[in-house]
């Protein structure tokens, strides 16, 4: 199993839509892969490109922004 690609994804979620949607997904018990680690922001407008770059530097395989 260890050679299976298990990406680590960093997500920036907008409090009003994507974070809310992620909560709703939970309420409905939708199942999705557990590879995402999230950071809540009040709006994706807050996401400075520098954050994305920093995420990759810190070893993220992918960055997700949802807003």
Partner 1 sequence: MGKGMEHRAGSVMVVGGGIAGVQAALDLTELGYYVYLVEKAAVVGGVMAQLDKTFPTNDCSL
Partner 2 sequence: MLTNTDLLALDGKPGDFTVKVRQRPRYIDADACTACGLCTQYCPKHHLDPYNEGLSLTRPIHIDYAQAVPATYYIDPSSCLYLQHETCQICVPVCQSHAINFEQQPEELELNVGAVILSPGFGKISEETLKKFSYGKHPDIVTSVEFERMTTASGPFLGEVKCFSDGRHPGRIAFIQCVGSRDLGCDNGYCSSVCCMYAIKEAMVAREHDPEVEITIFYMDIRTQGKEFDKARQRAESIGIRFVRAKVGDITPWRNQLQLTYSTFAGTHEFEPFDMVVLSVGLESPRDASGISDITGIELNKYNFAKSDTFNPLTTNREGVVVAGAFQGPKDIPESVTQASAAAGLAAGLLKKQRGQGIVHKDYPQEKSDTDEPRIGVFVCHCGINISSVVDVHKVENSVENMEGVVYHTDSLYSCSQDAVETLKKTIIEHNLNRVVIAACSPRTHEPLFQETLKDAGLNPCLVEMVNIRDQCSWVHAGEPEAATDKSQDLVRMAVAKARKLKPLPEQTVPVTERALIIGGGIAGMIVALSLADQGYESVLLEKGKTLGGNLGLLNHTLSSNETATHLKKLVVRVKKNKKIDVLTQAEIVHSSGFIGNFSSVVAAGTGKTKKEHTVDHGVIVLATGGHAHRPDGYLLEESSRVITQQELEKRLAGRAKNRAPDSVIMIQCAGSRGDDLKYCSKICCNHAVKNALQIKKINPDSQVIVLYRDMRTYGYAEDSYREARLKGVVFIPYDLEQKPQVYEKGRRLHVQFFDSLMQEEMDMTPDLVALSVGIVPDGTEDLSKLLKAPLTDDKFFLEAHVKLRPVELPVDGVYVCGLAHGPKPLDETIAQAQAAAAKAAIPLVKGSVSVDPIVSSVDEETCIGCSLCVNLCPFGAIEMIKVGKRRKARTISASCKACGICASHCPTFAISMGGFTNEQITSQIEAFGRATEKETAEV
Which residues lie near partner 1 (CB under 8 A)?
A: 24, 27-28
**Per CB under 8 A, 18 contacts partner 2:** no
Q: Tell me how far apart the 2 most distant CA atoms of the chain are, in Å.
A: 38
Cβ-Cβ contacts under 8 Å for 44 (sequence gap 6 or more): 12, 14, 18, 65, 66, 67
Of residues 24 and 43, the one with the C-beta less far from partner 1: 24
Helix locations, the chain, DSSP H:
18-27, 49-57
**Per CB under 8 A, 57 contacts partner 2:** yes
| Interface ranges with partner 2 (CB under 8 A) | 2, 8, 10, 15, 19-20, 22-23, 25-27, 29-32, 34, 36-43, 45-49, 51, 54-55, 57-60
């Amino acid at each position: 199993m260890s050679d299976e690609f298990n990406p680590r994804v960093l997500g920036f979620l907008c409090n009003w839509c994507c974070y809310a949607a992620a909560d709703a997904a939970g309420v409905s018990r939708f199942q999705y892969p557990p590879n995402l680690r999230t950071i809540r922001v009040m709006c994706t407008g807050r996401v400075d490109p520098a954050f994305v770059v920093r995420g990759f530097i810190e070893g993220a395989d992918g960055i997700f922004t949802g807003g």
